[in-house]
Chains A and B, each alone.
Chain A
Amino acid sequence: MDEEETLLEHMQREGMSRRTFLKYCASLASLMALPPTAAAAMAEALGKAKRPSVIWLPFQECTGCTESVTRSHTPSIEGMIFNMISLDYHETLMAAAGHQAEAALHNAMKDNYGKYVLIVDGSVATGLDGAYSCIAGRSNLDLLKEAAPGAAAIVALGTCASFGGIPKAKPNPTGAVAVSDIIKDKPIVNISGCPPIPVVITGVLAHYLTFGTLPELDALGRPKAFYGETIHDRCYRRPFYDQGKFAKTFDDEGARKGWCLFELGCKGPVTYNACATTKWNDSTSFPIESGHGCIGCSEPDFWDAGGFYKALSTPANPLKYVGAAAAIGVAAGAAVSVANRASKNAAKAAHEKTELPDLEK
């Protein structure tokens, strides 16, 4: 493939029409919450973009992120994107294994130094010098530190890479941390979610290809286009929340009528992600549409944020100290009470019967 070939040329050579490309841009614009009219401008820029080299490093992960992305069948939009990048290293997907694979990695890093996009999924184990997770005898920590300096940008894919995720859940035995906890001097995009939405990856790559920069990020390093609003904001059940109509159990009348799942522990209001818009399983539905509350998987420490089935307004165990507090309160009150009585009795004892001269100063 010609390195200097643009995306549009590549596509047209593959037999794709301009309208297909336009259609693709329209759907991307929709995904990235750009106005539909922006599709044309995007098509123009994206048409002129070049294919970048991508290196994909898997750390402490479950392969769910890779599954999520590859579940998109070719030639889908996601599939087309993989046509547009040069995926030079991906342990799970590549045909090569062992020393061959390692060689491919090092070649890619050397050839595209300073230009490649580094995708990381999984958290980085730091306990016991990173010994909890090793590839070819080297710890994830080492690999990351080796691969990061040559990357143009790093994409932390999934909640584990973004925020530590489930490996970091209490008590975090492996000392798992996020990519951003280790690498401080590179632009990092966090594409959180457990797993992340595949089209979000596409969107970020498309943005990178279109504009040559990373998209605008929120305070947690996530692209605002996808994480700018909460699940709750975009949820089709939101009007029921506003009307105060809540399902109380998973099999009551409210649940059947599709009322809001807030009281059943839905974390939609504090979860920033695009599930309600992009949906899952070939755009079939998303958890709330299937009748289950959002568990907040794209947020840091979602695993330790109270129970999945506890309403957000419901605290974990608020009456924990009440017994002890009541005992101390009564004791303090009783102590003051006793002291007050003593004080008042002393005042009474000190009473001298008033005589007229006392009224004068």
Chain B
Amino acid sequence: MQSINEIPVHVLSPDEMLTGQAEAVLSEISDLLGRLLATGEAGSIDLRSLPLSPADRDWLDEKLGRGEVEIALEAGGRSDLHETAYAGVWKVTHRDTEERVVAEFIEVAYVPAILRPASADIEQAHERLQASLKQNS
């Protein structure tokens, strides 16, 4: 073999790798949305705990589409949060500083929980801001 390019590559059509699991995820999302509306209770699905093939994931992403909100969270690595084409359905992808995906969720909520600042942090921020004002004055 002269070069790596000579290794034949066989490209499969996505359909061939579909297992049918992604469809089940979709219907669970729908149930969670219903619950969110009825009780206000948020829900989430841990995508990494499900036996999804790469094709299933692509299929799911395609089905969910992308909505208006895109949020980048820089906290010990970059996290992507975006609303899907379905309001209230969020795709959350956490990465570490090495850009490795460490967690992947579908979150069904008005706003993903991690975005909400903690009261303690706001308190601290408030103090810091006041201290800063004092220094300046």
Contact = CB atoms under 8 A, between A and B. Distances in A.
**Touch A–B, Cβ below 8 Å:** yes
B102 interface: yes
Contacts of B45: 36
A283 B96 CA distance: 12
A237 to B, nearest CB: 8
A344 B77 CA distance: 92
A357 to B, nearest CB: 85
Interface residues of A, number: 36
Contact of B21 (A75, A77, A239): A239
B102 A236 contact: no
A36 B44 CA distance: 6
B113 A40 contact: yes
Contact of A283 (B21, B42, B52, B101): B101
Interface of B: 10, 12, 16-17, 19-21, 42-46, 48-49, 51-53, 56, 73, 75-77, 79, 94, 96-98, 100-103, 105, 107, 113-114, 118, 120-121
A276 B51 contact: yes
Given A19-B114, A36-B105, A24 B19 contact: no
B118 A256 contact: no
A268 B21 CA distance: 19
A23 B98 contact: no
B44 A239 contact: no
B75 A19 contact: yes
B75 A23 contact: yes
B76 A236 contact: no
Interface string A5-46: 000000000001111101110110010010111001000000
A229 to B, nearest CB: 10
Given A30-B103, A77-B102, A236-B52, A17 B21 contact: no
Interface in A207-225: none
A235 interface: yes
A269 to B, nearest CB: 14
Contact of A236 (B53, B75, B77, B97): B53
Given A22-B114, A23-B76, A236 B56 contact: yes
B114 A26 contact: yes
Nearest to B76: A20
Contacts of A238: 19, 51
Contacts of A237: 53
Contacts of B53: 236-237, 258
Contacts of A27: 94, 102-103
Contacts of B114: 19, 22-23, 26
Contacts of B94: 23, 26-27
B119 to A, nearest CB: 11
A3 B49 CA distance: 36
A112 interface: no
B26 to A, nearest CB: 16
Contacts of B103: 23, 26-27, 30
Contacts of B17: 257-258
A288 to B, nearest CB: 11
B21 to A, nearest CB: 7
Given A18-B120, A76-B98, A258-B53, 10 more contacts: A18-B121, A19-B75, A24-B76, A24-B102, A30-B103, A35-B44, A37-B43, A77-B102, A236-B52, A282-B98
Residue picked from A17, A27, A234, A278, most chain B C-beta under 10 Å: A27
A68 interface: no
B51 A18 contact: no
A145 to B, nearest CB: 39
Contact of A239 (B20, B79, B120): B20
A277 interface: yes
B97 A257 contact: no
Given A22-B114, A23-B114, A36 B51 contact: no
B48 A30 contact: yes
28 contacts: A18-B120, A22-B75, A22-B114, A30-B103, A36-B107, A37-B42, A40-B113, A75-B76, A75-B96, A75-B97, A76-B98, A77-B96, A233-B51, A236-B21, A236-B51, A236-B56, A239-B20, A240-B19, A256-B12, A257-B12, A257-B17, A258-B53, A276-B51, A277-B48, A278-B48, A282-B98, A282-B100, A283-B102
Contacts of B12: 256-258
Given A23-B114, A26-B114, A283 B100 contact: yes
Given A19-B75, A30-B103, A236-B52, A257 B16 contact: yes
A186 interface: no
A23 B56 CA distance: 25
